[in-house]
Amino acid sequence: MADQVEIASVPETREQAAPVNSAPPPSAPPDHAHSRKMASGWRLLIIGAVILLAIGGFLLWRHLSTYESTDDAQVDAHIHPISARVSGYVIDVPVNDNQYVQKGTVLVRIDPRDYQVAVDRARADLADAQAKAREAGIHVPLTGVNTSTSLETAQAGVENAADEIKTEQEQASAADDTLKEAQANDVKAQNDLKRYRQLVDEQEISRQQYDQAVASAQGSTASVAQARASAEAAHEKIAGAHAKLIEAQASRKQAQTGPQQVATQRSEAESQSAKADEKRAVLEQAELNLQYTTIVAPVNGIVYRKVEPGQNVQPGQELISVVPVDDVFVTANFKETQLQHMRVGQRAVIRVDAYSRDYNGKVESIAGASGDSFSLLPAENATGNYVKVVQRVPVKIVLDSGQNDDHLLRVGMSVEPKVYVK
């Protein structure tokens, strides 16, 4: 029984081992085809993934090529340094640091009393100069009228003096004739007296007749003296008339200078008017200096104080800085290789680091030189130690209207602008 068992068991063992040494079962070929299908699917999947990556990369490249961006950018503005225009003692600074002020808000007050005194003095000087100018102006027509009248008077005086000379000469001639007649009568009377003296001595005539002859001779002598005095007086009047003529001629010559006198007076009036204008300019300057004692904000902005009450300030000394918040812009320093397609007017989106917020704007201008060219010590490439460095050029980007109505942007904030160049 045992042998039968052993014999029976041997075939079973052979039957089990036979498949090991024999050929593959009929199911082996379908497994190999499946592997080939799997490999082919993986290849198709890889090819599809590559195609998708290529398409995605192309689309990404197309997207990235539509804009240029940089992280070398910041908020900027034209900061207004407010300086004193006149010297003086600061009496009030009615604003605080970081205070928002409107245009026209009083920032600093300088003691105005000295400048008020200067205005009052200049106003008084102007009034005096204007009065003198008016007086000089009035004298111009008066001088013209006076010189014209003086010329007419002088001409009449010359004519009257000439007529007077003629009259006096006639009177002197008549006096000479009277003198000659008196002298002739005196000669006759003196001769008659001599004859009467002889006759009275011989008693041929009466004493009364002789006395009459003596009286007649004395009267004729007196008449001669009177006639001589009259003649001399007449000749003296002629000399006086000549003197008057000379004086009248001198007055006429002086009156003939009337146009020159009018011109001189007109020049004086113009000079006084010019002095009045000068005093008016002095007054205007004094009034300006008085106005400069009150310093106001030129724009809306935030204040930074550099002055305190009690200081004595000088012209040109910076007192306050006003940072405008209504007119901020972005200065973006793009690499020179990024400027190929960048143009003025292109749209920009600005990402502000402080608020993680985007602002819309546009390119307003591109600087005329790189930032290095504006530096205090620009590079000297001709020294021999040249290393090529990609330069950066400032680009000014302005915000669209209404983007900064909340005034959150501050000068110096870091931003990342994107300029859409396509």
Q: What are the residue ranges spanned by the domains of the chain?
A: 67-79+324-420, 88-111+289-318, 115-283
Q: Which CATH architecture has domain 88-111+289-318?
A: Beta Barrel (2.40)
| The residue type at 169 | Q
Main-chain dihedrals φ then ψ at residue 320, nearest 5 degrees: -150, 145
Check: pTM over 0.85? Answer yes or no: no
**How far apart, in Å, are the Cα atoms of 198 and each of 144, 176, 212, 214?**
79, 33, 14, 13
C-alpha to C-alpha distance for 155 and 142, rounded to whole angstroms: 20
Q: Which residues contact 255 (CB under 8 A, 6 or more apart)?
A: 147, 150, 151, 152, 153, 154, 155
Class of domain 115-283: mainly alpha
pLDDT digit string, tens, across residues 96-144:
999 999 999 999 999 999 999 999 999 999 999 989 888 877 766 655 5
Better-predicted residue by pLDDT, 202 or 109? 109
Do 395 and 366 meet the contact criterion of CB atoms below 8 Å apart?
yes
Do 418 and 66 meet the contact criterion of CB atoms below 8 Å apart?
no
C-alpha to C-alpha distance for 362 and 355, rounded to whole angstroms: 20
**Mean pLDDT value of segment 314-318:** 94
Assigned token pair, 299: 């724009």
Better-predicted residue by pLDDT, 396 or 62? 396
CA 301 and chain centroid, separation: 26
* Residue burial 266-294, b: 16+ Cβ < 10 Å; e: rest: bebbeebbebbeebbebbeebbebbebbe
| The residue type at 316 | G
> Regarding the domain with residue range 67-79+324-420, which homologous superfamily does it belong to in the CATH classification?
Efflux pump adaptor protein, beta barrel domain (2.40.30.170)
**Mean pLDDT value of segment 255-276:** 73
pLDDT digit string, tens, across residues 236-253:
777 777 777 777 777 766
